[in-house]
Amino acid sequence: MTRTRHKRWPAALISLSLTLALCVPVAYVSSPWVYQQVMIHRLTSNDLTKRQRSLSYVVANIAQDENLQRDVIKTLSVEDDKNFLQIVDALQAAGCWDESSIPADPWLRWIDLLAKEPGVEAPILAAQRLADLQRLADDPRLLDLLQSLSEHEQPDVRYNAMCALAELYQSAKDKAPYQTLIVSLLNDPNQQVAYHATIFACLMHLPDIDTFPWLDDAWRAPTDLHYNLTQIQSLLGSPDVAVRDVGCVLAVRDLDANEVSQLIKAMLADKNDQVRTTGAILAGISGQHLDLLTEKLKEQTDWVVASTMKLGLWMNADASATDLQPEVLLAQGDVPRTTIILAMLHRDILRALDVLLNPRGEAPQDLTRLLEDYGWWRVLDYYLPEDAPRWQSTNDPAMQQQQVDLLCDWYLLNRHRLKQATQQPD
């Protein structure tokens, strides 16, 4: 019996060893981490089927896995541009393609590939993406891309490259390359490109530039009346919401605090929806009677009235309006557009001017009518910084359009400065 047991023990040991030898590799290969590493490696595989499976895996899993995102970003160093763009597309599809999380090298490579695509849409997008790279304003690679785009055969691309130059200008420590590129566009064959290049050159205070005569008056403070209580009450009761916006601003500008207080209390107590909502905006601008406005908001059943009242509270960062998103209100279209923009000017001028001026695109066609015919320039004048150009009231449509052009170009040049100002703690 003893000899029998002695003979069987090595056989059992051998059987166990064989089992372990088979199981351990299977467990290792089937582990999630190893599988993930295989998928990452195959992102740059020459086997297109394996590569496509890995790309699909990335799209499905990367948003929930920071380690996966880090490893995928490393594969952007792949030499093949087509493969590079496939990985970029996967990151975009997963919502992970963002300048703040992507290193400068692959981000600039992506913009470079956009800039080289045929047509105008991709190169224009490239110029706009460059404008967002304030931290790289002095990077030679960025400047080379801007120069290439400013020499593009399509004027729309050159125009957008010029706008990007303007947006980056204030962030650059060495402004000479930007000035040189702007000067190179002064004689652009496209009249509009050359026209805006002249405005930018003037705003940059470049020497020896033949500017437009009307620019000499651009910073002259407009002459405006002092409005009394009766006149302001007339504006606040106007059937035109844009005029009521102006009335709210003038009330705070020209009346004493007690007169404004009495107006707000009377308007919030009124049974007319138009009067109550105007009172809510006046409360928002002045910062008075916000407790009363909060109580009135609780009583409202009408969505538009309630939203406008909440907008007045949002203007003062009131806790009861933290969920309000002005851009959503703009998209819905029920609350008057100009009133929403007025509230945004009060709380966050950058967001307001992006909507009002649309500086990276075409300014709204009705902007000159709003500013001149409805006197809304007074609203802008109240909120714009002191160094901004001032609207000069005129019945000349050409002069009105020139002033809109100047406002848009001034804003592009100062957009980053205003952004920094809005991000500073109170």
Reading the chain (426 residues) residue by residue, the pLDDT tens digits are: 344 444 454 555 555 455 545 544 444 445 788 889 999 999 999 999 999 999 999 999 998 889 999 999 999 999 999 999 999 999 999 999 999 899 999 999 999 999 999 999 999 999 999 999 999 999 999 999 999 999 999 999 999 999 999 999 999 999 999 999 999 999 999 999 999 999 999 999 999 888 898 998 898 888 889 999 999 999 999 999 999 999 999 999 999 999 999 999 999 999 999 999 999 999 999 999 999 999 999 999 999 999 999 999 999 998 888 889 999 999 999 999 999 999 999 999 999 999 999 998 888 889 999 999 999 999 999 999 999 999 999 999 999 999 999 999 999 999 998 888 776 543
| Conformation bin of residue 118: beta by default, left when phi > 0, alpha when psi is -120 to 50 | beta
- Nearest 5°: the CA angle 71, 91, 132 is 105
Q: How many CB atoms lie within 10 A of CB 144?
A: 13
Residue 318 is given by DSSP the state: -
CA distances from 231 to 223, 288, 367 (A): 17, 21, 25
Sorted by sequence, the CB contacts under 8 Å of residue 327 that are 6+ apart come out as: 351, 355
Q: Six-digit token pair at 312?
A: 């007045």
Best CA proximity match to 162, nearest among 111, 136, 200: 200
Asked if residue 266 lies in contact with residue 232, where contact means CB atoms within 8 angstroms, the answer is: no
Distance, CA of 177 to CA of 3 (rounded, Å): 93
Sign of CA dihedral 198, 354, 152, 192: negative
The reported pTM is: 0.86
What 3-state class would DSSP assign to 263? helix
What 3-state class would DSSP assign to 386? coil
Distance, CA of 139 to CA of 177 (rounded, Å): 11
